[in-house]
Amino acid sequence: MDTNKNSYTFMFAIVMVVVVAFLLSFAATSLKPLQDRNIKLEKMQNILKTVGVEVTREQAEVEFSKYIKSGVVIDPTGNVIDEAKGADVEKGLAFSGDVKHAVAKKQYPIFIAEVKGETFYVIPLFGMGMWSDIWGNVALKADKNTIYGINFDHKSETAGLGAEIATEIFQKEWIGKQIMEDANGGFTDANFASVTAIKGGADPSDTHGVDAISGGTVTSVATSKMFHDRVALYLPYFNNLK
Amino acid sequence: MSDVEEKEALFSKKNRQLLINPLDSDNPITVQVLGICSALAITVKLEPAIVMSLSVLFVLSAGNVIISLMRNIIPSRIRIIVQLVVVAALVILVDQVLKAYLFDVSKQLSVFVGLIITNCIVMGRFEAFALGNTPWKSFLDGIGNSAGYGLILVVIAFIRELFGSGALMGQQVIPDSFYDAGYANNGMMLLPPMALIVVGVIIWVQRWFNPSLEEAN
């Protein structure tokens, strides 16, 4: 067999491409349900973690319907446009909807959790880090002002630097911080102080500042911006609830 | 396959050398200077370096065997493309399987899995070895070279994580009393240029012990 003939080369290339394409699409489609399930369970796990419920990925589904009472989608004026309760939360728009494009679609998801008699509001976060997407969830206490729990994750921030936003050490600092300038001042834009990661370290008494990551300034700034931009969307809703 | 090759013992001296040489005298990073790119990118911490080494071990040994099995039917004019397709397909497969069955590991590796495609060692071994040798030898060559690669990666990551973060495998190992006494982590260690300098030092040390590697000039 002459392997240098043009016809052979073409045939070889075609057969190879078809075989590889078939193999990869077969692998991708047959593994897809498992992958999607992992992603869904991880999302539940992350939401539960912000309200202080630590579960393994396998338990996440059961515990999620137990603690997350409703998933609400609001519009920019704070009106509820979709609400799913109890076991239906995971099928509702708030959970299955696209957090990344929530702003463009003007559909902002929020979850209301009840743990040991306390109510929490969990807001999904999404933004751009230094290299790619960053995201997370923040749980506010019933006063809709104090941070109860928070988590961040990232796609490809620099390991050891920006990637540190996904660590406990950084996230712990956010707990107890307040998003409003004056706790009794109402949920207006003017009163919205957000929480910012401060380069060089925040004063421990500062209720709106946390220590930024040394060497991870761009990611720290991006995280603060994500927090500010996303949480600000829910002020009209909080105002309506009051 | 010739008769002589078939009768050769599985772990003959020659075959053993395929495994052992890449660890020192024919090391892919310090002697062949391949795979430097990933040696810089993922050695900030020990754990990803280890997982990356294992992934390369799988891709390189499996890829070497596949290429070697096809070596007589691959048209030489498109052999680089064929090699690229094989390594890309393997990497995507690894990535998909990890996402479905080992979700936590796949999250840790994130972009690094894709980076295996760009690892010069993989293409280098396909081209230089697997195209001209039997599958078993290619398999050993793949294991040997990825082990040699992994060895250097782990050494660099060990040094960088220890001096850069004061930790190993994410656990703090330098006691707090050191920090209280004024010790500080070397932030430079976390940046890519320091990996290059560490590689340089390793090459220097290796040649010191093994003068045969020095170029005659």
Residues B141-156 have pLDDT tens digits of: 999 999 999 999 999 9
Q: How far apart are CA B138 and CA B128, in angstroms?
A: 10
Q: Which residues of A151-180 are buried (b: 16+ CB within 10 A; e: fewer)?
A: bbbbebbbbbbbbbbbeeebbebbeebbbb
The percentage of residues in chain A with a pLDDT greater than 70, rounded to a whole number, is: 99
At B36-72, the pLDDT tens digits run: 877 787 788 888 888 888 888 999 999 999 999 999 9
Q: Is residue A204 part of a domain?
A: yes
CB contact under 8 A, B85 and A17: yes
CB contact under 8 A, B164 and A24: no
Q: Is 0.95 exceeded by the ipTM? A: no
Tokens standing for residue B49 = 């370096």
CB contact under 8 A, B85 and A20: yes
Does position B3 have pLDDT exceeding 50, yes or no?
no
Task: Write down the pLDDT at residue B107.
Answer: 75
Task: Report how many domains make up chain A.
Answer: 1
Nearest Cβ partner of A160 from B45, B72, B78?
B45
At A79-110, the pLDDT tens digits run: 898 888 888 888 888 888 888 888 888 889 99
Does position B6 have pLDDT exceeding 60, yes or no?
no
CB contact under 8 A, B100 and A38: yes
Q: How far apart are CA B4 and CA A227, in angstroms?
A: 69
Q: Is residue A122 part of a domain?
A: yes
Q: Is residue A26 part of a domain?
A: no
Closest Cα of chain B to A8: distance in Å?
Answer: 8
Q: Is residue A203 part of a domain?
A: yes
Across residues A20-41, what is the average pLDDT?
Answer: 92
Q: Do A125 and A179 form a contact (C-beta atoms < 8 A)?
A: no
Q: Is residue A232 part of a domain?
A: yes
Domain extent, residue A103, equals: 50-241
Interface probe with A: pick from B46, B51, B93, most Cβ of A within 10 Å: B93
At B78-134, the pLDDT tens digits run: 999 999 999 999 998 888 888 888 887 777 676 677 778 878 888 889 999 999 999
Tokens standing for residue A27 = 């692998």
At A145-197, the pLDDT tens digits run: 999 999 999 887 877 788 889 888 899 999 999 999 888 888 888 889 999 99
Closest Cα of chain A to B75: distance in Å?
Answer: 5
Tokens standing for residue A100 = 């990344």
Nearest Cβ partner of A160 from B82, B111, B164?
B164
Using CB atoms and an 8 Å cut-off, which of residues 72-101 of chain A contact chain B? none
In three-state form (DSSP H/G/I as H, E/B as E, the rest C), the secondary structure along chain B is CCHHHHHCCCCCHHHHHHHHHHHCCCCCCCCCCCCHHHHHHCCCCHHHHHHHHHHHHHHHHHHHHHHHHCCCCCCHHHHHHHHHHHHHHHHHHHHHHHHHHCHHHHHHHCHHHHHHHHCHHHHHHHHHCHHHCCHHHHHHHHHHHHHHHHHHHHHHHHHHHHHHHCEECCEECCCHHHHHCCCCCCHHHHCHHHHHHHHHHHHHHHHHHCHHHCCCC
Using CB atoms and an 8 Å cut-off, which of residues 44-63 of chain A contact chain B? 57
**Chain A residue at shortest CA distance from B92:** A24
Q: Is residue A15 part of a domain?
A: no
